[in-house]
């Protein structure tokens, strides 16, 4: 019986899981970020060509289980994976990181899509964007009364009214406090990613009385098994591999 696992990644959590997989398993990345060179498992980079392409890959590569550890806002690949697993009759498991919950004192403004972000930040002048590269596509749309600070994984020169900081978490409260103060931030724009690595910005926004414009999470497909933590996921995959080995 095959025990081959395809791990869909692109997050720090996925990398932690990939580090536990042996050479017969495959770790798959879209190809936008760093590709680790020190893993025991195979690494493949680039899309599959939609759900159909992924279903073909699963059959050709004799995959028995797809583990989805992609980012909660990477909804396309998750939808493709669920569909492909159904077609290829392969198990679909997923890490579903719990969303952050607003705490007393928080002023969260829920929006959906880029249009919602633009509208919600209109009353403010110094937004900090912490939602990936999307604002880079709108650098020529900074309103006259605003200066944007954009933190993402990509280096970019920005311009007079847009500064781009390329930085990778985890971020500390001290660091966030220093950035918010120095850049005179008056509103924070975020995805509800969950997890500890980038949570400090929310605590500091609360402490400084700043509103947070929060993008709604996209809907994700149900998985046969869902895990809330990396440790749980690693334990279950380990059990699965041992059980399959002895079957």
Instruction: Name the residues that contact ligand NAP, by CB under 6 A.
Output: 8-11, 28-30, 32, 47-50, 53-54, 70-71, 73-77, 80, 132, 191
Rounded distance, CA 41 to CA 53, Å?
22
Cβ proximity to ligand NAP: between 8 and 200 the closer is: 8
Asked if 74 contacts 13 with a C-beta cutoff of 8 angstroms, the reply is no
Task: Name which of 3 and 11 has its Cβ closer to ligand NAP.
Answer: 11
Q: Both tokens of residue 45?
A: 């980079």
Q: Where are the beta strands (DSSP E) in the chain?
A: 5-8, 26-29, 42-45, 65-68, 91-95, 108-111, 127-130, 148-152, 162-166, 187-191, 212-215, 225-227
Instruction: Give the list of residues 6+ apart from residue 58 with CB closer than 8 angstroms, or none.
Output: 6, 66, 84, 85, 88, 90
Residue 57 Cβ, how far from ligand NAP at the closest point, in Å?
9
Greatest CA span in the chain, whole angstroms? 66
Nearer to ligand NAP (CB atom), residue 13 or residue 186: 13
Q: How far is the CB of 71 from ligand NAP (least distance, A)?
A: 4
Nearest CB to ligand NAP, comparing residues 118 and 208: 118
CB of 74 to ligand NAP, least distance (A): 3
Residue nearest to ligand NAP (CB): 47
**Phi, psi dihedrals of residue 160, rounded to the nearest 5°:** -55, -30
Q: How far is the CB of 140 from ligand NAP (least distance, A)?
A: 22
| Nearer CB in complex with ligand NAP: 68/186 | 68
Residue 30 CB, shortest distance to ligand NAP, in Å, is 4
């Amino acid at each position: 019986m095959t025990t081959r696992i395809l791990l869909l990644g692109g997050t720090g959590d996925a990398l932690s899981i990939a580090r536990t997989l042996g050479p017969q398993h495959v770790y798959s990345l879209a190809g936008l970020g760093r590709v680790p060179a020190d893993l025991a498992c195979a690494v493949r980079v680039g899309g599959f060509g939609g759900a159909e392409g992924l279903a073909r890959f699963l059959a050709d590569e004799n995959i028995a289980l797809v583990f989805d550890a992609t980012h909660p806002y990477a909804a396309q690949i998750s939808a493709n994976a669920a569909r492909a697993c159904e077609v290829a009759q392969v198990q679909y498991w997923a890490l579903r990181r719990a969303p952050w919950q607003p705490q007393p004192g928080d002023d969260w403004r829920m929006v959906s899509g880029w249009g919602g972000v633009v509208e919600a930040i209109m009353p403010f002048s110094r937004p900090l964007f912490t939602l990936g590269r999307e604002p880079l596509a709108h650098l020529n749309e900074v309103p006259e009364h605003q200066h944007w600070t954009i933190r993402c994984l990509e280096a970019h020169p920005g311009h007079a009214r847009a500064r781009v900081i390329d930085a990778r978490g985890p971020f500390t409260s001290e660091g966030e406090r220093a950035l918010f103060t120095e850049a005179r931030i008056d509103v924070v724009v975020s995805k509800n990613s969950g997890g500890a690595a980038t949570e400090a910005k929310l605590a500091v926004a609360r402490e400084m009385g700043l509103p947070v414009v929060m993008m709604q999470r996209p809907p994700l497909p149900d998985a046969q098994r869902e895990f809330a933590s990396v440790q749980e996921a690693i334990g279950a995959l380990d059990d699965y591999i041992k059980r399959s080995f002895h079957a």
